[in-house]
Structure 1
Amino acid sequence: MKFLCTAVVAVALLVANAGPGTAAEPKQHLVAIQVDQNDADVMNLALNNATNIMEQYKSKGETVEIEIVTYGPGLHMLRADTSPVKDRIKQIVDASFPSGIRVSACNNTKEGMEKREGRAVSLIPEAELVPSGAVRLIELQENGWSYLRP
């Protein structure tokens, strides 16, 4: 009888320590991709990386959130007037809805470009303005996001 009681207590402890939702929950991945160059090849590589990452984890039944953070010369990726990849961004972001790929634009860079050019800089509709691209990358990494620079 003593053995049976000990076994019951051991099983109860195992169940209690397992915690909620530990079985069969898909793994969640978080990936920040930096673009800081006005180079169509780098921009396309970042988009290829994002697409490949999404497809890989989807095929494994796992989820992923990806944020492409642009700053410096890389902001051209999200400028309505100079982006060589704006149509591709729209296609990828639309295909990844409701979660998936987000694109962020550095407001510090945008304001600097506006000052130098003497006019407002318009961003593509998919872009989300963040105060600082560099700080955004730091914050994402501090919150457990993996970092990738193509």
Structure 2
Amino acid sequence: MNRNLFAGSMAALLGLVLLVGAGTLRAEPMSESKPFAEKFLLLQLSDGEEEKQNKVLSVAGNLLEYYGPDSIDIEVTTFGPGVRLMYADNSRRERISSLMAQGVRFTVCMNTINTIERDTGKRPELHPEIIPVDVGVAHILDEVEKGYVLVRP
């Protein structure tokens, strides 16, 4: 009888350890460019105001400094008026390039760019290193499903 009690206690303890362990496991996105990243952040920019653009760039820079560029994977996704940040002639181009050099990805909604071209008859020239995505909001939804945390500064 002692033996059964011991075996039952061990089974219960093992079950508890597995349950607690499973609670601490979480799915994290896989980042090819940042394989050691522990934090995964998606910054949304859908506003064309200079103050908002500066805030998004500051958040990205501050987090790179705080966590270190290898420990955080940051993407900035722009759509709507926010795509102005990705214009080649944007006054923040050097700052954007510096963030890109530290591994920050910048994506731009091509649906918005196509709409601008259709409405104005001219396609805006974009920063040469941006990553085009078909639909910005759909891209955000997909990245959040993968485990990225969405922040809209």
TM range (shorter): 0.7 to 0.9
**CA shift at 1:27, angstroms?**
6.4
**Shift of residue 52 of structure 1?**
1.1
Q: Give the counterpart letter for 1:46 in structure 2.
A: V
Q: Please state if 1:134 is matched with 2:141.
A: no
Report if aligned partners of 1:47, 1:89 keep a CA contact under 8 Å in 2: yes
Q: Which amino acid is 2:49 matched to?
A: D
Residue 78 of structure 1 is matched in structure 2 by: 86
> What letter corresponds to residue 65 of structure 1 in structure 2?
D
Matching residue's letter, 1:121: P
> 1:137 offset after TM fit, Å?
0.9
The answer (yes or no) to whether the contact 1:30–1:64 under 8 Å persists in 2 is: yes
Give me the whole-angstrom Cα distance separating, in 2, the residues matched to 1:84 and 1:42. Answer: 14
What secondary structure is seen at the aligned counterpart in 1 of 2:88? coil
Q: Deviations over 1:95-144 (max 9, x none)?
A: 33xxxx10000000000011111022221012100001111111111111
CA distance in 2, matches of 1:110, 1:138: 19
| Consecutive aligned runs of 4 or more in structure 1 exceeding 4 Å deviation | none
1:45 to 44, 48, 55: 55
Give the secondary structure class of the aligned counterpart of 1:126: coil
Q: Which amino acid aligns with 1:33?
A: L
Is there any run of 5+ residues in structure 1 with no aligned partner, and where? none
Paired residue for 1:89?
96
Q: Name the residue aligned to 2:149.
A: 146
TM-score after normalising by structure 1:
0.75
Give the distance between the partners of 1:27 and 1:132, measured in 2 at CA.
Answer: 26
Number of aligned positions between the proteins: 138
Give the aligned residue type for 2:95: R
Contact 1:40/1:84 (8 A) holds in 2:
no
Structure 1 residues 74 and 27 mapped into 2: Cα distance closer, same or farther (>3 Å)? closer
- Is it true that 1:110 corresponds to 2:113 in the alignment? yes
CA contact (8 A) 1:40 1:85 kept: no
- Any gaps of 5 or more consecutive residues in structure 2? 26-35
RMSD: 3.2
Quick check: 1:120 aligned with 2:123? yes
